[in-house]
Amino acid sequence: MRLSSQGKELFIAASRDLGLNLTGQFELFDQLFDLLTESNQKMNLTGLTSEPEIVLKHFIDSLSCLRSNRLEGTLRVIDVGTGAGFPGLPLCIARPQLEVVLIDATRKKIGFVEKVLEALALPNAYTLWGRAEDLGHQTAHREEYDRVVTRAVSTLSTLYELCLPLLRVGGYLIAQKGVEAQSEVAASGTALEKLGGKLVESVWLELPIIGDSRCLVIVEKTSPTPAKYPRRPGMPEKNPLS
C-alpha cells in the first residue's frame, strides 16, 4: 500500500520540522512504506502498523539522527541491530553520500532489508546477517567505521560493547534513546571508559508533530578498544560491563 495524501503531507511537514527537504526522495520513502506494510502482513517485522506511526516513529524518528550534525559528507556508517532497516534505510535515502552497512542477527529481517535495497535500487547500502559481537572481531569490520548508529537494541552499557569495537578512533556512536537516556548515561560511564569512548553530548529533541522526547547519545571513540571486547555473543547483554 502506498502512502495516502495525508501520509505524504505528514511526512513532508515532519521532515521540514527537522530542517530537511525530502520532496525529491519522497518516492523512495513511499516505496519503503509499501514494502514494509506488505511484508508486515506476512511476517512480524515491526509492531508499528498505522500510517502515521510508520511515518513518524519509523521514518521521521530515524531521520532525527541527522540532528546530531555528524552524518554529513562521505562516511562509512554501520547500523547495529537494524531490524527492518531503522534508522539505516531512511538515513541512506536522505543522505546518498553515506555508505551504510545494515546488520542484524535475525535472518528474516535482513532478508527484508535486502529486498528493499533491491527494489529501491539503493546503491549506497549493504546488508550483513550476523551478530555485532562476531563482527567486532573481524578485521574487515573492527575499527573500520566512521559512525555507528543504533536504535532500540539494548541499554547503553551493552550497546557500547557492541558498537565501540566497530568504530575507528576519532569516529562517533550516535545512539537513539528516549527518556531512559539520562539514567543509562549515568550507569554506563565505567563501561565507556573500558571500551575507549568518551561521552560528547546528549542531544535532546522532540519528535515532530507528536512531541515525544528523544535523546541522541553521542560518544567519541578516543582510544582503541582492548582486544578482549566484545566478549562472546550474548555476554554484553547478559552481564553488561560496569
> To which H or E segment does residue 220 belong?
strand 213-221
111/222 with CB nearer ligand SAH: 111
* 226 Cβ neighbours under 8 A, 6+ residues apart: 194, 195, 196
Least distance to ligand SAH, CB of residue 149, Å: 9
7/83 with CB nearer ligand SAH: 83
Q: In what order do the strands lie in the sheet with 167-177?
A: 125-129, 99-104, 76-80, 145-151, 167-177, 213-221, 197-206
126/222 with CB nearer ligand SAH: 126
| H, E, C per residue of 122-154 | CCCEEEEECCHHHHCCCCCCCCCEEEEEEECCC
Least distance to ligand SAH, CB of residue 167, Å: 15
83/196 with CB nearer ligand SAH: 83
Residue with nearest beta carbon to ligand SAH: 83
Cell numbers standing for residue 134: 562476531
Least distance to ligand SAH, CB of residue 71, Å: 16
Site residues (vs ligand SAH, CB under 6 A): 81-83, 86, 103-106, 109, 131-133, 151-153, 162
Least distance to ligand SAH, CB of residue 230, Å: 8
